[in-house]
Amino acid sequence: MTCKIVTIVGARPQFIKAAAVSREILKHAGKIEEVMVHTGQHYDPNMSQVFFDELEIPAPRYNLEVSGGGHGAMTGRMLEGIERILVDEKPDWVLVYGDTNSTLAGALTAAKLHIPVSHVEAGLRSFNMRMPEEINRILADRVSTLLLCPTKIAVENLAVEGIVQGVHNVGDVMYDVALYYRERAKEQSKILQAHGLSEKSFALATCHRAENTDDAARLEGIVSALAEIAREMPVVLPLHPRTRKLLQQFGLEHHLAALTVVDPLPFLDMVALEQAAQVILTDSGGVQKEAFFYKVPCITMRDETEWVETIESGWNRLVGASREMIINAFKSLNDGSERSAVQPYGLGNSSELILKKLGF
């Protein structure tokens, strides 16, 4: 008898994680059918057929095209669309990833239809309830049957909240992804040549979180610091359209003149840049970890991080959005003698362990 899994994703990082698990699912052809649903939460012009070809996965069977609007309107429209699909498809499992509105909508709809939920990246906590992501991940964990944690600390976070049933440390699926695409990106991407960059001679920066982009003072602290760093080495900034729009709105666009600004990049190009950078400055959870996997020093422009292991290992520094702290962190990058070689995110076989916990 075939087991049907409906995978619900809504943002590019979730597709990348889901691709690793989908590849593992394909090894069980005939036993598992996967139906992928894209809520449409994050519109990304780079998520074309080329994106799915790079990831070696088929495009989603369903696209709800729910993007824009407030959290309530967006999540409500997702609940309505996902419910229709789940009633029609009648899956044995619903698989959700991470901490977006799509994660919450998928988990909540499935739970109300009494369909078991498996949450990949369960147990992560920033302990900042002002972040919508924190609310989403806590609520998704509460209604999940299988809580697939990426780290020992995530398991401990759940235990503190009284959640111990169905909890498993399977390692981080992003480590599977990093290992799988590392050499492929080096071989196939031409992004360094296109921008005249050489290995370990530039900084890579990303900035997209609402806590930074929606606050003019924080955004100015970040972009002015990047412009200062660019006096010492090129700073490559793949710029999200929303961030560009807010820079214009706040009158901060002049800082971009010092930077190498590029459009959001295809997946393999981003991996190639991450590996080749001398330092990465980011407010992205995924990019923090990728920096750690590729052993590139990272400066995280946030007030807290869910990935505390990267801080404890010495590979990541948390600096907030202060211009002075960002610049000081950059200037104090040393020979790395205090950085440890720990690997708290598993062995790169998380996808296999996830399938085992699902019964395969």
Domains, in order of start, for the chain = 3-172+346-357 (3.40.50.2000), 186-331 (3.40.50.2000)
The pLDDT of residue 131 is 87
Per-residue pLDDT, 47 = 64
Annotated catalytic residue, options 38, 42, 119, 208: 208
Asked if residue 43 has pLDDT above 80, the reply is no
C-alpha span between 49 and 56 (Å, rounded): 10
| pLDDT on residue 273 | 98
Containing H/E element for 35?
Answer: strand 32-38
**Adjacency order of strands within the sheet including 117-120:** 62-63, 32-38, 3-9, 93-97, 117-120, 146-149, 167-169
For 262-303, how does the pLDDT look when each residue is reduced to its tens digit (9 = 90+)?
A: 998 989 999 999 999 999 999 998 999 999 999 999 999 999
> pLDDT at residue 51 above 80?
no
Distance CA 307, CA 320 (A): 15
Q: What is the pLDDT of residue 198?
A: 96
Q: What is the pLDDT of residue 98?
A: 95
Residue 336's pLDDT is: 65
Contact, 227 vs 255, CB < 8 A?
A: yes
DSSP 249-265: HTT-GGGGGGSEEEPPP
- Residue 330 vs residue 338, higher pLDDT: 330
- SS3 (DSSP) at 146: strand
Tokens of 22: 């989908």
Question: What is the rounded CA–CA span in Å between residue 102 and residue 104?
Answer: 5
Per-residue pLDDT reduced to its tens digit, 108-140: 999 999 999 999 999 999 999 988 999 999 999
Asked whether the predicted pLDDT for residue 42 surpasses 90, the reply is: no
| Span 228-245, pLDDT tens digits | 999 999 999 999 888 999
Tell me, rounded to whole angstroms, the distance of Cα 290 from its chain centroid: 10
- Residue 42 among the catalytic residues: no
How far apart are the C-alpha atoms of 15 and 352, rounded to whole Å? 17
Q: What percent of the chain has pLDDT over 90?
A: 84
